[in-house]
A = this chain, B = another copy of it.
Amino acid sequence: MTTSRPGTGERPPGERGDLLDERCPTRQLLDRIGTKWTSMTVKVLAEETPGEVRFAELRRRIPGISQKMLSTTLQSLVRDGLATRRVESTVPPAVHYGLTELGLSLERPLAALRDWAETHMPEIDRNNQAADGSSAD
């Protein structure tokens, strides 16, 4: 595979007769940021913007990510034009990643979502526990 990205279905144009909004931009965006590591990667890159972060440094700052997923995620971001990739062709190669303007602009609504999450997820957790307890007990 040469052009596959993690969360994207590569939908061929005109396969359906009606437009189902699977093409709707929001769905496409969620297919991207909904993948497990994308939003966190964007966040870490955003923290260093306008600076850059090396591959290994990213790995360190995203606990639990594998090289494969970090690599795949970064490829998606670069391909989407959300991140930049700069290779230093030294003997042990050093690759630096950064956010583009586009990527940085995505960080804003993403931060709003994060903010909502931090404010309200505890309540959602409590709601779930309440739902658990009321049928069981």
Q: Does A39 lie within 8 Å of B64, measured CB to CB?
A: no
Q: Does A121 lie within 8 Å of B81, measured CB to CB?
A: no
* Partner among B21, B28, B35, B79 whose Cβ is within 8 Å of the Cβ of A40: B21
Q: How many copies does the complex hold?
A: 2
Interface residues of A (CB under 8 A from B): 2-3, 18, 20-22, 24-31, 33-36, 39-40, 63-64, 79-82, 102, 105-106, 108-110, 112-118, 120-124, 127-128, 131-132, 135
CA distance A101 to B127 in the complex (A): 13
Residues of chain B with a CB closer than 8 A to A117's CB = 24-26, 28-29
Q: Does A109 lie within 8 Å of B112, measured CB to CB?
A: yes
CA distance A25 to B105 in the complex (A): 21
Q: Does A121 lie within 8 Å of B29, measured CB to CB?
A: yes
